[in-house]
Every structure is written in structure tokens, then in C-alpha cells.
Structure 1
Amino acid sequence: MTATTTTADRPATAGFLDAMAALAGGVCVVTAAAADGTPAGFTSTAVMSLSRAPQLIAIGVQRGSRTLPLLQDGGRLALNILAADGESVSRRFADPAVDRFAGLEWTTGEGGVPLLLAHSAYAVVCRVREEVAAGDHLLLIADIDEIIPGQGGVGALVHHARRYHGVGA
């Protein structure tokens, strides 16, 4: 009998990573705040609109993310949809060695969540409704509480083929 393996049994291969790099994704910064108000956040392209009624979004969050416990404990988050010129902000929130909020213009929204309005096309304030285990990530399903237009300019920032691209600007 021949042993078979499934994709669930294998680590990510170069082919998998290359295929996913070919899928363009909108770039967002997911933010949350600790109980003492300390802001946290990370860059994500693993975001999707999920439902119009009720209004829901889904965000994939790596289990090792430093922001994940804040999302689980407080249940509040902001999805900052970066404007076309938001590459530097995206890189800042993707770098674990950087104080991500230092010197950056931001404010707080409902529930104290950090909003990056100066860098975003929109900020979407949400409340986590459900967590779904998904491999090395959790899929957070969240109810939308408020949608705030940003001042970050026009267009959107997307990530494709391992590079940033501004579209619609």
C-alpha cells in the first residue's frame, strides 16, 4: 500500500507561495488596543467582505500574531483600508521590529480602536463575532459597527507578485 499525503500534511511549498503571490490582494492594516489603550496592529491582505446582511467581514490572523490576543480579549478592531500611497504604512505594520505607531498620525474610534484615517481610503470599525480555526491562522468574522471615510487619498493599495501597486489613483 502506498502512503499518500494531503496538502494539509505538507508545509507551504514554493509553488503554493508563488500561486498565492499571483493573487492580487487589497492591503489593510488591522488595529486594536490593549485594555490600557496601547495600540497594536499588523498588515494584512487576508481580508474579505463576507456578508451584506448582516454586514460582516472576515480576516485571517496568524496564530502567532502579537495583536491576536487583543482581538480575542477586546473583540474590537479597525480595518484600515490603505489608500494607493500607503506602501510605507503597510511596510511599517509588517515589520515586527518597528514601533508601529511612533510618529504616525492616528486617532481613536469607537471602543478606543486606533484609526489610520490620514493613510486610509476607509476605516471600518468592527466587533469580533466568531473565530474559526484555519490551519496556522484563525479566521475572525466580525460585525461592522461603523464605516469612516479616510483622508489618505484616492485609490487603493494592492499587493501582487510580491510588490505593492497603487490602483485607481
Structure 2
Amino acid sequence: MTAATSASARPADASPEDSGFLDAMAALAGGVCVVTALTAEGHPAGFTSTAVMSLSRDPQLLAIGVGRTGRTLPALLGGGRRFALNILHAGGEHMARRFADRPADRFVGLEWSAEEATGVPLLVAHCSYTVLCRVVQDIPAGDHHLLVSAVERIVTGSGGPTALVHHDRRYHMLGAA
């Protein structure tokens, strides 16, 4: 693992009761992905996530956690219920930060392409892999939704066998020279 890049602090609205939980979860390393979808109006939407898990090999399923108040949730649950899970390569910290911030349009000036059949935004140039998915089950869970999703297609990205992970509130690169 290379040196950590920049750190982010515990959320300002964290209560003392939340501190132990937030600190424990910060100690759990997670791969960094950008989830992208189309809104009902046909606009690209997306967010950074480490709440992703491989769920089943047969059939191929994965699950993502999405905040109940997140702006991308309606896009994920509307229309064709399709999205792309863009698994960021080691050099993808700028993408992680871009989609974690709250600008009005995260796609302005960004290199991306639309999936041919669905129009879902793909960030292949910034990823090791992009996994195209269809939501098959929505499970409300606390302040989030757990979206169980069928894998429809996998696209190899440009990042090779590297990964960006988030641990202890910082980004780390794995497999990078």
C-alpha cells in the first residue's frame, strides 16, 4: 500500500453515541466505487460508495447501500432500475472526491460514455472494471436502502489490477507502482 493521501474528518453532525460506530467503520477498509445511473429526465447522476458487496455467484448478484436522502436513489429505483458500478483504479482518488462532493452536475467536463442499450453513464477510463447492474430487490434498512442487483455485463476498464481503497478516513492505493 502506498502512503495515504488526504484525510477527511468524522462528520460534523456525529453525536457522541455515534463516535464508536463511526470510528469502527472507518477501520473497515473498503474498495471505492462510483455508482452511476440516469435520472427520469435522462440526466447522468452518481455518487461515491464503499458500501458494496459481492452477494452471489449463481446467479451473479451484488448489493449496494444507498442513503435514503441521496439524490441518486430515485434514479436507481426509477425507470429501468439500471446502474453502473464503476470500480475505481488506484489513480481514481480525484473521481472519488468529485462524486463524494455535492456539486450540481458532477459530469460537467468529465470523460464518460453512455451504455448503448440503457444510456447508463460509464466511467470506464477511470476504472479497473465497470459492472452493469439491474436492481432486483430494494430493502429499506435504517437511513439507507440495500439494493440487491443482478449483474448484466462487465466491462474491463483502463486501470489494470490496481485498486483505490478507503480506510481510516483516507484513500489508499493498492497495486500501484
In the superposition, the TM-score normalised over structure 1's length comes to: 0.90
Instruction: Please name the residue that 1:76 is paired with.
Output: 82
Partner of residue 135 from structure 1, selected from 138, 142, 151: 142
Q: Name the SS of the counterpart of 2:76 in structure 1.
A: helix
Instruction: Please name the residue that 2:22 is paired with.
Output: 17
Alpha-carbon distance between aligned partners in 1 of 2:88 and 2:109, rounded to the nearest angstrom:
18
Alpha-carbon distance between aligned partners in 2 of 1:83 and 1:53, rounded to the nearest angstrom:
26
Alpha-carbon distance between aligned partners in 2 of 1:29 and 1:111, rounded to the nearest angstrom:
18
Q: Are 1:107 and 2:117 counterparts?
A: no
Alpha-carbon distance between aligned partners in 2 of 1:90 and 1:64, rounded to the nearest angstrom:
19
Q: CA deviation at 1:108?
A: 1.2
What is the root-mean-square deviation in Å for CA atoms of aligned residues? 1.5
State the percentage of identical aligned residues: 64
Q: CA deviation at 1:133?
A: 1.2
| 8 Å Cα contact 1:158/1:167 also seen in 2 | yes
Instruction: Please name the residue that 2:50 is paired with.
Output: 45
Q: CA deviation at 1:11?
A: 8.6
Count of residue pairs brought into register by the alignment: 160
Q: Note closer, same or farther for the CA distance 1:105–1:152 as it changes in structure 2 (3 Å cut).
A: farther
Point out the more displaced range, 20-29 or 33-42. 33-42
Q: CA deviation at 1:98?
A: 5.0
Q: Note closer, same or farther for the CA distance 1:28–1:61 as it changes in structure 2 (3 Å cut).
A: same
Q: Deviations over 1:92-138 (max 9, x none)?
A: 00001252111111001141110000100000000000011110000
Instruction: Please name the residue that 1:155 is paired with.
Output: 162
| 8 Å Cα contact 1:24/1:161 also seen in 2 | yes
Q: CA deviation at 1:58?
A: 0.1
Listed as ranges, the gaps of 5+ residues in structure 1 are 1-9
Listed as ranges, the gaps of 5+ residues in structure 2 are 1-14
In the superposition, the TM-score normalised over structure 2's length comes to: 0.86
